[in-house]
Structure formats: structure tokens, C-alpha cells
Structure 1
């Protein structure tokens, strides 16, 4: 199979399948924890303006196979030295084939070229596949693993891109309290 990586924007029609599927996924995975999960998922996806996800401070890519969007994601500036990954998604039929890892690697390379030295991200507690991907990709959990994940709700991770495995450079990214539902 041949995959094509396309640098694009959130407003490009090729991004729509990714954004629509993310909204459904968020709403579905968290509906038992949020009475209005569909509205909150929609709100989350509209939370940041599209211009935050374009160079020189951000990026948005999709991966297409045979003209169909099958994976992608974005990053934006978190602080002067840190990119924040957002909107990571892989089509259900394409999962467990390395596409999400490829997206993460693409973003790490782009972030370095754009002057960032670290990456930060959060994933939801009902997304253990994502948490596993980040851990396997060298990201450090920035939350207290002794607390039930649903208390955290959002699980933060970070990675030093200049010295992978270095964790002392991530201390300022650690939140003193769990990232509850609406932090």
C-alpha cells in the first residue's frame, strides 16, 4: 500500500474525514462520562483557531491512501520551546499498521525543524491505545500513575526531542493536580 503524507490545513476538505471521525470517536468513547458528549466533542474540536496549526508555529498533516484520508493530526505552539500534539487520528480499518507512529515521527521532525525542543500532549483516559503509542514512542507520563486514569480524565505526556529519554527538562510541564474534565 502506498500512503501519501500531505501538509494541509484544518479548513482543507481533505481534513474533514479526520475531524468528523474524531468528533464521533470522542463523543462515543466518553458518552458514559459526559451527559452531553457529542456537544462537548464538537466544542473541543472547535476550541482552537485553524491558524494555530500552520507553520511556522504549527502543522497539520493527513495521510491518504488511494485518495482517502486515513490518518493525520496537528501540532501547535505550547510555549517557546514546546510543540503540542493535537487531533491525532487513524481510521479504524487502518489501525495497528504503524500509521499513528508515523504521524508522531513526522511531527517530531517538523517540530525540530520549526525550532521546538520538546513535545507535549494530552490524551483521554478512555484512549489506552494512544497512551500506549506515546509510551512506546519515548514519551514520559506527566501524571501520577497511582491515581485512577478517570480521575485525571486527560493524561499528559512529554518528550525532549533533543535528548530523548531526558525527563528533567519536562518538569515544568507536569501539572500538580489531575487534568479533570474541564481544565
Structure 2
């Protein structure tokens, strides 16, 4: 387990907990939408894209089961992310799990698991370590809400995100998530890349 350190923020940056309905969240959602359309335009129809962006109810990203965090610079959102409680079966190979008791026989998390979603950094503010800071903030909040484990997926055309998760202690749950070519016997060539991380042992 790699703990992310939360270094003091520069004076120009502020961490803010928000609700999905907060107008400050709009740049995050719009930025993600542009990113997904650019990278997956040939894999997702417009209808599928809209369905993905609207898939989760606002209360899923609010305490006591979730959180949504923004990093603001001079009051404007520059990065953010959220988590919700994962109740659905997970992707990834069982043999790659850090602990055998992580899932039940149907692949559903057997321990309280926070699923990270909507991790975003404004394109003009990348390579500043902001995504790491968002991860640290989300991990702190998940731990405070009693989650021992985190789970996430990222897209196969987001190598920067996959690299960030590997570098910050997230365990790849598939060959492709580990950076190897997808195993055609167990993985879809353009399927999501799953990861997990235990906050407690």
C-alpha cells in the first residue's frame, strides 16, 4: 500500500467538498465529456456517452457513502474527482486481487469498497501534480467514511491515468491495466482497465 501525501497547498489553491449539483462541478463534467468524446468517439455512440455521464445519482457522490472534491485555483476548478460505494460486480482477474476475500463468488465487493470516478484535471493545468492531490484527498475521505478498499477503472486510451494509478499504489487487476497487451482469453481489447487499493490491511 502506498500512502499519498497531502503536501500543503499553494496559497492560490483550495480544496472544496461539493455536491454534484454545485455549479462549480460543471467545468469538471464538461471537461470529462470533451475528453471521452475525443478519445472514444469510434467506440461510444452519442447516446452511450450521454448515458455514461448521467449514470449515477447525485447522492451516490455525497456522504455518508461518497464524496466529490474540487481543487480550485483563484476560485476556478482546475481538478477534481469523486467516489461512490461500489455494489456491482467488479472487472478484473480474481488471481490478481491483493486479498482473496475482496469479492464474493459473483464478483461483488465483499468488503466496503469505494469506487473512484470522474477524476479530472483541466487541460491547461496538467503535469502539476494536481491529480495526485485529488487522489490523496479522495483517499482521506474514503478512509474517514470507513472504506478499507478502493476500486476504479480507467479507459484503455488513457495511458496517463493508468500510469498515475500504478505509480500511486493501485494494483492492476488485468494484464492491460498492468501495462501489458490485453490477454485475448480474458480481456476485451478495448475494455476498461481495473485497479484496486487497500487503505487498511
Query: Which TM-score band (shorter chain)?
Result: 0.7 to 0.9
**For 1:133-174, what per-residue CA distance to the aligned partner results, in whole angstroms no more than 9, with x for missing partners?**
1000000001133426861521000001114xxxxxxxxxxx
Moved over 6 A (4+): none
CA contact (8 A) 1:27 1:40 kept: no
Q: Which residue of 2 aligns with 1:169?
A: none
Partners of 1:33 and 1:58 in 2: CA distance: 29
Partner of 2:104: none
Cα deviation 1:67-107 (Å, max 9, x = unaligned): 21111011001145210000000001111111000001111
Q: Deviations over 1:10-31 (max 9, x none)?
A: 1100000100111111111101
Aligned position for 1:69: 77
Give unpaired runs (5+ residues) of structure 2.
1-9, 88-110
Aligned CA RMSD, in angstroms, stands at 1.6
Residue in 2 that maps onto 1:102: 133
Normalized per residue, the structure richer in strand is 1
SS at match of 1:104: helix
Q: Distance in 2 between matches of 1:87 and 1:73?
A: 5
Q: Which runs of no fewer than 5 residues in structure 1 stay unpaired?
A: 164-183
Q: For residues 143-158 of structure 1, what are the structure 2 equivalents within 5 Å?
A: 143-145=174-176, 146-147=181-182, 151-158=189-196
Number of matched pairs: 161
1:21 aligns with 2:31: yes
* Other-structure match for 2:55: 47
- Corresponding position: 1:117 with 2:148: yes
Separation in 2, partners of 1:48, 1:88:
15
Q: 1:136 aligns with which of 135, 143, 167?
A: 167
How high is the TM-score relative to the length of structure 2?
0.76
- Determine the C-alpha separation between the residues in 1 that align with 2:195 and 2:28: 22
Query: TM-score, normalising length from structure 1?
Result: 0.83
Q: Which has the higher contact order (CA 8 A, sep 6+)?
A: 2
Counterpart CA distance in 1 for 2:52 and 2:138 is 21
